Amino acid sequence: MKTIEPKGVDPTPPGAKVRYEWSGFPWWFIGIVGVIAFPAFKILTDETWREGFEFIKDGMVLTVVVTVFGFVLAMAAGLIVSLGRMSSNVVFRNLAIFYIELIRGIPVLVTIIFVGLVVWPELIGALGITGRGGLASPAVKATVAVGIVYAAFIAEVLRAGVESVGRGQREAGMSVGLSRFQVFRGIVWPQAIKNIMPALGNDLIALLKDSSLVSILAVRELTQMTKLWTGATFQFMAGYLILAAFYLLLTVSLSMILQWYERRISTPA
């Protein structure tokens, strides 16, 4: 699919409305199906591949859980950081900038290890929480780690979206007696979300793929389950082709859902 900017004068900001047109047969999708088809065929016809599939698929639930809750955490924290980034208070603004630059300046894997194995255990230890269940579980550590990482990226996306709405529109809302919160909720946010949906979608897909890095914390998601199975059977080709097919299926499905949602919110009422 390709996007074409609407012609004529439009009162909404650039990018707020997008018109989608047919751009030909989706050969790329046929290619993706072909890549997934080979592991699928082997799973149906080869007992070893079938055993690997049955073992690895048990990590699907944790992969989805870490992705969804990690993204929710990243959105909540990112919104707070973005508001601090735009604040007129010099302390809040500099703290937000420090956080963003710190997280973006350190490799994702290093941050996940540090948060999961140092920061989070120290924090819950200070609260008197012990054991491996509940807040101390590897899944919670992984979710917090990816949430902290992606909050920095999402904060910048949210800031850019909010600042893309003209200052005059905010002032017009204030002039008719709306509070700052009402202006944000009724005027700024509806326009900003349309502008930032593609970037937020990209961050969600990137988070889904980076969830594979939490295998370093012994979280039994897809990648960790693949490592365990291939380590026991030495069937590396089968294991990692099955893993690649799982991630392709997840990311392409998510991408298509996001494209549908972008078309839906971009269509004029």
Supply the CATH number for residue 210's domain. Answer: 1.10.3720.10
Residue 220 has pLDDT above 60, yes or no: yes
The residue segments making up the domain with residue 202 are 61-220
Is 214 contained in some domain? Answer: yes
**Nearest-angstrom CA–CA distance, 209 and 233:** 25
Q: 13 falls in which pLDDT band (50, 70, 90)?
A: very low
Instruction: Give ∠ CA 125-126-130 in degrees, rounded to 5.
Output: 25
Which two tokens mark 122? 């120290």
Q: Of 215, 248, 266, 227, which is closest to residue 62 (Cα–Cα)?
A: 215
The tens digit of pLDDT for each residue in 144-177 reads 999 999 999 999 999 888 887 877 777 777 777 7
- The DSSP call for residue 214 is G
How many structural domains comprise the chain? 1
Q: 191 falls in which pLDDT band (50, 70, 90)?
A: confident
For 165, counting Cβ atoms within 10 Å of its Cβ (0-12 exposed, 13-18 middle, 19+ buried), the class is buried
pLDDT for 269 equals 54
The tens digit of pLDDT for each residue in 15-28 reads 444 444 555 667 77
Is 252 contained in some domain? Answer: no
Is 8 contained in some domain? Answer: no
Q: What is the pTM of this model?
A: 0.82
Mapped onto helix, strand or coil, the DSSP state of residue 19 is strand
Which two tokens mark 210? 């980076």
Is 27 contained in some domain? Answer: no
**Nearest-angstrom CA–CA distance, 100 and 111:** 13
